[in-house]
Structure 1
């Protein structure tokens, strides 16, 4: 996507792989004389001026079209529905697998091992005294805090909502003032906790309702209620900019931004095939390419704040080695973000999954086998994201949670995040003895 101005909003114009761009100007401040790297190019296309980040520009058509995805494994399951060659085009040809070195910020040091617990912002504030002591009786050294939920509600006073929504007050529900919020996060960081802000991305009925042309609709432009929610289209650049703007607003308060629901709604195949559902795919992108594009854009926006970028991924696309028609393909996502976080919750696996008779009753084996699958796919990348998986913290006793962690460790990993809904103290206390 080409920018309207340097560091500005995205335009509605894109440049495709291998397309030549006419350079109009390079600002001397955007040129590193030591390396020759250009940060921004001012270019012209169809007699109009745009800007493009230099990191996406290659010196020749051949280098722009170079194949970096030859080692990526995938299964062509969806070819049976969308036509022969669909999977290769969707997962390989349209996707960027060029080596993408991850930054380590000196002024924002990520712990060698992050062991996090998810809590709502309300619980982070209400249970502050107890949560600040959690590291003394467990391995927990980080918190994942919900900043935007799957109803599209923002728990702080957001300027981004005012810029991208017609009725921003429908989305804004601040629990405390922004100044107080900054103070609370600072207090946790001072106590030694690594703080992660969770942003639910493309499951947002408020944005969809107020931006129907940027959302999932029927053939007549009416919003589709999919399993109780209206969804923005992940192809929408306006939806990209809205969520990235939210991330930039909250970034100064935290160490890392975690994008959840970075996906298309599941179960939309039939509506796609009979053309009764429309995601408004203006640029004829694959779902995988659109999600990678959003995450690359969001990461670019966050780099100047020295904030890390992470993304949650469903477990089943990893097991199936495809995108499960929701756009989540592990290698494509892991090549862009700093941290990738699958969600292999025990109760989400069917009986016999990964040849395990009852995954819920075999936490160590389930996490070990799943982690091995993830490792195999990540190893195909030169600079893969750090692997930090979610684990189930609900409906389990401390021993079972400990077994999940040991299953991860069996494969050489040590990072994890615990999901127990809102993270009420009774839920934390019920399993705290198992959190290594």
Structure 2
């Protein structure tokens, strides 16, 4: 953490182009501390110490489970002291209106390009989510960003399927036909970035990259990793996407038992929750001038457990920053007995209903929560199961949904589309 709450800092300079003439808000302040230059977001800078120290976390509830693993007071520090809950009203861009209720499916870049006519005929679907960077680190269009962050940018772009010019044309066609287009960027699971930037990634104490979930991971503490993904997001915004959705915006799961052997390169001594919130604050600040919405995918279990499950995802911290929060309560991710349901896979309605009620309670703890839009399981399920998932969301007053299909192949969509 560079600057603590209530700490007075001297502004070195401001850039005129960072000033919003309509609101009077400064986007960034250039400050100096200990002979180093930093930029502070204007949204979180106050004019007095009293305002800076004002508490907004009184309604935030969290589990203290990780206190037993780390130290007494760890949870309060991770979920409250280091987190900013200042209420900031979410923006609505008049020239980029989000559908009142998003009904969407996820598709690969290949299907986005080659199955456009089929996708546009899907009944009850008004939004398409397309993978633009996958969890191996491949950027699936001919990006110009990679050369600034990778010594060998071809490692990221050698699987590119389309030029920027042609992708822009296709996005325009989708939008002309009434579709809202979302770019899904896998963020902190990226072997390409990690291999080329080991000092910015998860390693052992000898500097060797470490594999988790069959992959190398950039550290979510790394500002270079932050910048790389946000620059890709800005490029996607310029291509015409309405919204940027950050996936794998977390630390790898399952590292707790090996923490002493791992080096996360935590330069600023932040909690994992603070790092994830900080990245999303940075992304929101950088993308807001482009008038695109910012979304973040989130594991279901941190919501159920009411903590971050040691991956940095804590619902109130994330939902206080982004425009859309996207939990992933896939039926087969819940063990038998979850929510007192014998077999969650066999009870799509009951499972989604119970989970969404838990989410609702946590969202009420902040004044301006993100829009809540749920991923639902589209694989290993029939059309009636999908229909039950959607009905549960409607009955909890959160009717937006995104059907997760890894590639969104025609045969997979055909199998369940009558349930949309």
Smaller-chain TM-score bracket? over 0.9
CA contact (8 A) 2:331 2:348 kept: yes
Q: CA deviation at 1:63?
A: 1.9
CA distance in 2, matches of 1:196, 1:36: 30
How do 1:18-29 residues align onto structure 2 when only pairs under 5 Å count? 18-26=6-14
CA distance in 2, matches of 1:50, 1:291: 19
Q: Alignment partner of 2:188: what SS?
A: coil
Q: CA deviation at 1:18?
A: 2.0
How do 1:303-382 residues align onto structure 2 when only pairs under 5 Å count? 303-382=288-367
CA contact (8 A) 2:96 2:292 kept: yes
Matched, 1:79 2:67: yes
Find the partner of 1:46 among 9, 30, 34. 34
Which runs of no fewer than 5 residues in structure 1 stay unpaired?
2-13
Q: CA deviation at 1:34?
A: 7.7
1:280-335 per-position Cα deviation (integer Å, ceiling 9, x unaligned)? 11111000000000011011111011000000000011001010000110100000
* TM-score, normalisation: structure 1: 0.93
Moved more, 21-30 or 311-320: 21-30
CA distance in 1, matches of 2:15, 2:263: 41
Q: CA deviation at 1:55?
A: 1.6
Q: CA deviation at 1:31?
A: 5.4
Q: CA deviation at 1:174?
A: 1.7
Q: Alignment partner of 2:326: what SS?
A: strand
Q: CA deviation at 1:120?
A: 0.3
CA distance in 2, matches of 1:262, 1:34: 32
| Count of residue correspondences | 418
Find the partner of 2:117 among 129, 147, 152. 129
Match of 1:9 in 2: none
Q: CA deviation at 1:116?
A: 0.6
Matched, 1:197 2:208: no
**Relative to 1, partners in 2 of residues 1:321 and 1:207: Cα closer, same or farther, differing over 3 Å?**
same
Q: Alignment partner of 1:159: what SS?
A: coil
Q: CA deviation at 1:17?
A: 2.2
Q: CA deviation at 1:158?
A: 1.5
Match of 2:48 in 1: 60
Match of 1:265 in 2: 252
* TM-score, normalisation: structure 2: 0.96
CA contact (8 A) 2:138 2:160 kept: no
1:391-410 per-position Cα deviation (integer Å, ceiling 9, x unaligned)? 00111111111000011111
Moved more, 221-230 or 76-85: 221-230
Match of 2:3 in 1: 15
CA distance in 2, matches of 1:91, 1:64: 18
Match of 2:221 in 1: 235
How do 1:152-191 residues align onto structure 2 when only pairs under 5 Å count? 152-172=137-157, 173-191=159-177
1:175-227 per-position Cα deviation (integer Å, ceiling 9, x unaligned)? 01111000011101110011000000000011000000000010111111123
**Relative to 1, partners in 2 of residues 1:80 and 1:171: Cα closer, same or farther, differing over 3 Å?**
same
Which runs of no fewer than 5 residues in structure 2 stay unpaired?
none
**Relative to 1, partners in 2 of residues 1:406 and 1:158: Cα closer, same or farther, differing over 3 Å?**
same
CA distance in 2, matches of 1:311, 1:159: 24
